[in-house]
């Protein structure tokens, strides 16, 4: 049986695009969003097709300014994704209540990075993939000059029966286990956490 030590993480710019497609899949929220929700204004988001969203992520990967995320592998199989970039790349996040009311960081400071999304394929959950992705995201942010990395997780101790589709922000326990500190609680079940690098 695979263990958490069998999970490896690589920057999305260093993996085949077919592996990214495998992780995002063809059904469910990941297959329609491709981690574009926090980047697009609402009007553009409302009209985007899944193929257009996938194309935008592919362009962002090619631009590598910086790499927009990490891909996790378990026994060579692509199994997960974590979005991590400077917060300035996420226009909608910069205006979202969780950020405007929860973060003390300047929204225009490019040294503040954000972890916005996790995708772990069905059948590979509860195997340490999320934790490995978060460690990889922190490492990449540190290597590329981030000063602080923020997350906006769901507190599953408060929202006990949250479905997996609503946990794409990650869980508070996932972030605190990785050394992130609680900054604020902009709502009862959501937190802002930060790690100074």
Chain segment 21-63, per-residue pLDDT in tens: 999 998 888 988 999 999 998 888 999 999 999 999 999 999 9
Separation of alpha carbons 36 and 45, rounded Å: 8
3-state secondary structure of 101: coil
Coil/strand/helix, residue 100: helix
Coil, strand or helix: which one is 60? helix
**Nearest one of 78, 12, 69 to 38, comparing CA atoms:** 69
pLDDT digits (tens, 9 = 90+) for 176-188: 999 999 999 998 8
Q: Against a cut of 0.85, is the pTM above it?
A: yes
Residue 1 pLDDT:
44
Domain of 22 in residue numbering reads as: 4-196
Per-residue confidence (pLDDT) for residue 4, from 0 to 100 = 52
E-only strand ranges, 52-147 = 69-74, 77-86, 112-120
pLDDT of 96 reads: 86
Low-confidence ranges of the chain (pLDDT < 70): 1-5
CATH of the domain at 101: 3.40.630.30
147: which 2 tokens?
């000063």
Counted domains in the chain: 1
Query: Residue 87: its pLDDT value, please?
Result: 95
What are the residues whose beta carbons fall under 8 Å from the beta carbon of 91, sequence distance 6 or more?
Answer: 38, 39, 40, 41
CA-to-CA distance for 196 and 190, rounded, in angstroms? Answer: 20
């Amino acid at each position: 049986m695979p263990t958490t030590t069998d999970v490896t993480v690589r920057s999305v710019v260093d993996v085949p695009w077919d592996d990214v497609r495998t992780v995002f899949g063809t059904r469910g929220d990941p297959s329609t969003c491709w981690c574009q929700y926090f980047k697009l204004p609402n009007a553009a988001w409302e009209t985007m097709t899944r193929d257009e969203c996938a194309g935008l992520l592919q362009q962002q990967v090619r631009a590598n300014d910086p790499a927009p995320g990490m891909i996790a592998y378990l026994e060579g199989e692509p199994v997960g994704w974590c979005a991590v970039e400077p917060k300035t790349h996420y226009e909608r996040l910069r205006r979202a209540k969780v950020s405007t009311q929860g973060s003390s960081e300047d929204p225009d400071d490019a040294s503040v990075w954000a972890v916005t999304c996790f995708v772990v394929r069905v059948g590979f959950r509860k195997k340490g993939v999320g934790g490995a992705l978060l460690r990889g995201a922190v490492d990449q942010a540190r290597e590329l000059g981030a000063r602080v990395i923020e997350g906006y997780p769901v507190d599953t101790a408060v929202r006990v029966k949250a479905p997996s589709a609503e946990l794409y922000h990650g869980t508070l326990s996932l972030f605190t286990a990785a050394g992130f500190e609680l900054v604020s609680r902009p709502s009862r079940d959501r937190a802002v956490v930060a790690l100074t690098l």
